[in-house]
Amino acid sequence: MVPADKKILLVDDDLDLLEQNKILLESKGFNVVTAEGSKKGWEVFKQEKPDAAILDLIMEEHDSGFILSYKIKKDELGKNIPVYILTSATYVTGFKFGASTEEEKEWIKCDGILNKPIMIDDLVNKLESFFDNKA
Amino acid sequence: MDQQKQKILIVDDEKGLRLGTKRLLEKEGFEVVAAENGTEGIAFGTSIEFDAAIIDMKMPDFDGIMVLKEIIKKYPNTACFIATAYASYDTAIESARVGAFSYIPKPFSPEELLLQINKGLEKRELNIQKEQWRKEREERLLEVAYEKTRLNTIINSISDGVLVINKNGEAVLYNPSALKFLVLKSITIEEYIIDKLPEKLAEQVNNFLKSSEYLKRSLTVQIHMKDNDLVVEATSSPVPAPDGSLAGVAIVIKNITELKKLEFLKSQFVSMVSHELKAPVAAVYGFLKLISDKSMNLSPEKQDEFIDRSIIRLDSLLKMVNDLLDISRMEMKTTQREIIELNLPDIINNILELFQLEINKKNIKIILNAALSTPSLSGDQDEITRLFTNLISNGIKYNKQDGSLNIKIEKIDDYLVTEIKDSGIGMKSVERNKLFHEFYRVKNEFTKDISGTGLGLSIVKRIIDSYAGKIEVDSEFGKGTSFRIFLPVIKNSQKNNKETLTNMQLA
């Protein structure tokens, strides 16, 4: 039940949110590694080989999260891990996107969009069901 | 006018006949003038308009035909009679040919003469009336033609496109703007035009043309033209025929490209603002959730740290809201400006005093170089102070420990030029280009601990623009940045031209 062996990569340029989400995920028993930007995020990803990644969308650029997600999904190490994009963009831009249909997943290259602030129980459910299906 | 006597001219070299006729006609109520030869006849007959003229054919100087010609040339409506004792078929023809009303063979009886003259006068009246009608008709036609040209000129000169289509779908009227906004090379009057219109517009027009009943309302559609950035708004309205059926459709096409661009910029700005405002709220919310969640078992030190960090986020949120309010006020131009003569070096000295704590903390050397004769600047004290506060604040915030801040004020041409040069972290050229954009902040390892709203330079730019000034940036990554601010000076305020420099060192 408690996946201490599961390593989650968190990438966010807001250091406060990064730390909060780290504490939340750790409290649920996950092993968490963090990075403060998409460039650093890619380095940490290659180095730590996480089991899941949660990426902030708007970092250096307005689509940094999508680009990093795309890179991870194309990578041999990343193609089978869940990648979630964290954003408040659905609310503010009125521009709606999701990653629920196969077509959207293909285009966005991620497993889901999470709205800020993170609802930790939802996220844990998502991660656990993913890991359970894999097992 | 009708009361006036009708005037008759008698031209005859035979005195007895001349005077006899005169007397006879005067008795009938005419005003009569008699000429005793052709020369006199021409002179009288062309000096005023006679209603009728009786001209003798044979006179010693000119013959009657000649006199008649001259009179008719001047007054075509004078009813002229040729009187002759040598009546012949040829003279009758000849006098009719040159325009005589009739031909009176001599000798004539008074009854015969009066009958002829009255007929002639009647004919003259008819001719005059006919001529008047013709004139009126011509005038009216001219008016119609003028009205049509005027309408065309008006339609051609309006900046919106106008296209009128008849019920068969053929173009009947258009202006040059219609060509431009419909991206058409040409329109031929009476060609079938529906196929040439953008699909959405054609559909809209067909709504009117194909409907079995007469639709009274107008329809509007926005069209993004293919192959270019043109966005137009087309409004179609039905044109009624006199019998109440549909005669055609009038389309007015407006260019709304700029409006659409503004709309896009506005929504982009709103979305950016919301994102920037949401981030600190989310951070504080997260901290409070963590602190209030007892199951987290946060240490008291951690809790204190989170409270401090929340306060920092809220503080920057407050600053950002204030900056946004300032920007909004500047955009709405509701700022109450009080334009006074300002002494820029004084203002800068005051600002530097406010930053004394930060300056001391970083041990920054401040060098202020200003000519004693610096002309005064006309401006609003709060705005000018705000402008230089933002720049000096950046010069300190982004400076290195033990760095320097050089401020130089001088008059160059018609501008008061202030240079603010720091020895800070500098910028790459990509970053320099985005510098004045709202919410843009240079993000790198040097800046991650520096707080800011991303609105400071955007406000600087707005203030400078509102004073018709300009700002230049020069920067080298890792070495420093210098800003040059050009503010126009009002010429009559220059009093002293001595360029004495004073050096003021503050740290």
Tell me, yes or no, whether B491 lies in a domain: yes
Mean pLDDT score, A8-17: 91
**Spatial separation of the C-alpha atoms in residues B63 and B73, rounded to whole Å:** 16
Closest by CA position to B373, among listed B489, B486, B494:
B494
Tell me, yes or no, whether B46 lies in a domain: yes
DSSP A70-133: HHHHHSTTTTTS-EEEEESHHHHT-------SHHHHHHH-SSEEEESSP-HHHHHHHHHHHHHH
A38 to chain B nearest CA, in Å? 12
Q: Predicted confidence band at B458 (pLDDT cuts at 50, 70, 90)?
A: confident
A90: pLDDT strictly greater than 90: no
* Chain B residues with beta carbon closer than 8 angstroms to that of A92: 270-271, 274-275, 278
- Token pair recorded at residue B89: 């078929």
Mean pLDDT score, B143-162: 89
Backbone angles phi, psi at B315, to 5 degrees: -60, -45
Mean pLDDT score, B402-419: 92
Clarify whether residues B494 and B350 are in a common domain. yes
Clarify whether residues B495 and B360 are in a common domain. yes
B353: which residues sit within 8 A by CB, 6+ positions away? none
A9 to chain B nearest CA, in Å? 19
Clarify whether residues B291 and B377 are in a common domain. no
pLDDT of amino acid B67 = 92
Percentage of chain B exceeding pLDDT 70: 93
User: B491 to each of B346, B411, B494, how far by Cα in Å?
Assistant: 20, 11, 6
**Spatial separation of the C-alpha atoms in residues B36 and B61, rounded to whole Å:** 10
CB-neighbour burial class of residue A53 (10 A; exposed 0-12, middle 13-18, buried 19+): buried
Interface test with A, best of B269, B271, B315 (most A CBs within 10 A): B271
Backbone angles phi, psi at B126, to 5 degrees: -60, -45
Amino acid at site B332: M
B343 to chain A nearest CA, in Å? 41
Instruction: Give the H/E segment covering residue B248.
Output: strand B246-255
B271 to chain A nearest CA, in Å? 5
Backbone angles phi, psi at B71, to 5 degrees: -65, -45
Clarify whether residues B87 and B219 are in a common domain. no
Amino acid at site A53: A
Backbone angles phi, psi at B147, to 5 degrees: -60, -40
Please indicate whether residue A81 or residue A108 has the higher confidence score (pLDDT): A81
Ranges A9-13, B266-270, B372-376, most confident: A9-13
Residue B499 structural domain: 339-505
Clarify whether residues B434 and B315 are in a common domain. no
* Chain B residues with beta carbon closer than 8 angstroms to that of A63: none
Q: Which of A27, A37, A92 sits opposite B296 (nearest CB)?
A: A27
A24 interfacial to chain B (CB closer than 8 Å):
yes
pLDDT of amino acid B308 = 93
Q: Which of A17, A27, A93 sits opposite B283 (nearest CB)?
A: A17
pLDDT in tens, B434-451: 888 877 777 666 666 676
Quote ipTM for the complex: 0.82
Tell me, yes or no, whether B152 lies in a domain: no
Tell me, yes or no, whether B45 lies in a domain: yes
B163 touches B184 (CB < 8 A): no
In terms of DSSP bridges, do strands B7-11 and B31-35 run parallel, antiparallel, or are they unpaired?
A: parallel
**Spatial separation of the C-alpha atoms in residues B459 and B452, rounded to whole Å:** 13
A29-88 residues touching B, CB cutoff 8 A? 36-37, 58, 60, 88
pLDDT in tens, B279-310: 889 899 999 999 999 888 889 999 999 999 99
* Chain A residues with beta carbon closer than 8 angstroms to that of B282: 17, 88, 116-117
Clarify whether residues B476 and B355 are in a common domain. yes
Instruction: Report long-range pairs for A121-129 (Cβ below 8 Å, ≥24 apart).
Output: A123/A25, A123/A54, A123/A84, A124/A25, A124/A28, A126/A82, A126/A84, A127/A3, A127/A6, A127/A8, A127/A30, A127/A52, A127/A82, A128/A3
Tell me, yes or no, whether B414 lies in a domain: yes
* Chain B residues with beta carbon closer than 8 angstroms to that of A23: 290, 296
Q: Could you say which of B255, B287, B322 is where a domain stops?
A: B255
Q: Could you say which of B255, B277, B305 is where a domain stops?
A: B255
Are B283 and A88 within 8 A, CB to CB?
Answer: no
Between helix A15-27 and helix B257-292 the angle, nearest 10°, is 50
pLDDT in tens, B196-253: 999 999 999 998 998 878 888 899 999 998 777 899 999 999 998 888 888 999 999 9
Clarify whether residues B78 and B169 are in a common domain. no
Are A20 and B286 within 8 A, CB to CB?
Answer: yes
Clarify whether residues B264 and B247 are in a common domain. no
* Chain A residues with beta carbon closer than 8 angstroms to that of B290: 20, 23-24
**Spatial separation of the C-alpha atoms in residues B416 and B490, rounded to whole Å:** 10
Clarify whether residues B356 and B497 are in a common domain. yes
A54: pLDDT strictly greater than 70: yes
Exposure on the CB side of residue B322, measured as CA atoms within 13 A? 10
Between helix B64-74 and helix B89-97 the angle, nearest 10°, is 20
Helix (H), strand (E), coil (C) string for B279-333: HHHHHHHHHHHHHHCHHHCCCHHHHHHHHHHHHHHHHHHHHHHHHHHHHHHHHHC
pLDDT in tens, A30-52: 999 999 988 899 999 999 999 99
Looking up residue B231, the CATH number of its domain turns out to be: 3.30.450.20
B369 touches B409 (CB < 8 A): yes
First to last CA, chain B: 106
Closest by CA position to B188, among listed B177, B196, B180, B198:
B196
Specify the number of domains making up chain B.
4
Clarify whether residues B345 and B361 are in a common domain. yes
> What domains lie within chain A, and their CATH numbers?
7-134 (3.40.50.2300)
Closest by CA position to B459, among listed B327, B322, B265, B296:
B327
B448 interfacial to chain A (CB closer than 8 Å):
yes
A69 to chain B nearest CA, in Å? 21
B66 touches B38 (CB < 8 A): yes
B201 touches B251 (CB < 8 A): yes
B446 to chain A nearest CA, in Å? 14
Tell me, yes or no, whether B144 lies in a domain: no
Looking up residue B437, the CATH number of its domain turns out to be: 3.30.565.10
Clarify whether residues B290 and B400 are in a common domain. no
First to last CA, chain A: 12
Average pLDDT, rounded, for chain A: 81
Clarify whether residues B203 and B306 are in a common domain. no
Q: Which of A13, A17, A23 sits opposite B282 (nearest CB)?
A: A17
Tell me, yes or no, whether B279 lies in a domain: yes
Q: Which of B290, B313, B448 sits opposite A23 (nearest CB)?
A: B290
